Amino acid sequence: MSFSKIAMYIVMGSVWAPAFADDHQPAETAGNMAVETYTYSTPLDIQKVISVTDVSDKCGATPVRMTYQDSHGQQHVIEYQGVGIACTNG
């Protein structure tokens, strides 16, 4: 996945996130890493993107998880609302 696609997902997610945000505690992933819900006030220190949920087969607003490494080498998982592009009109 190219950097421009990742950047687009982050921008789209930040636009949609406030509309779908809820106030819940971070969930646990299978790897026991806390999943942080993104808000506009969330400080991001993204050195390297490791993975992003593929939403190319979804339509409309859908949760996206991004796993990334910060500038200190620590891994984080953040969840935000992305926009799927697999919508059809018919």
Rounded-to-integer distance, Cα 42 and Cα 46, Å: 12
- CB 8, CB 15: distance < 8 Å: no
What is residue 85's predicted lDDT score, i.e. its pLDDT? 86
pTM above 0.85, yes or no: no
Predicted confidence (pLDDT) per residue in 20-77, tens digit:
444 444 455 546 789 999 998 999 999 999 999 999 899 999 999 999 999 999 999 9
**Which residues are bridge partners to 65 per DSSP?**
79
- CB 67, CB 76: distance < 8 Å: yes
**What is the CATH T-level fold of the domain 3-85, as seen in this structure?**
Spermidine Synthase; Chain: A, domain 2 (2.30.140)
Q: Domain residues of the chain, as ranges? A: 3-85
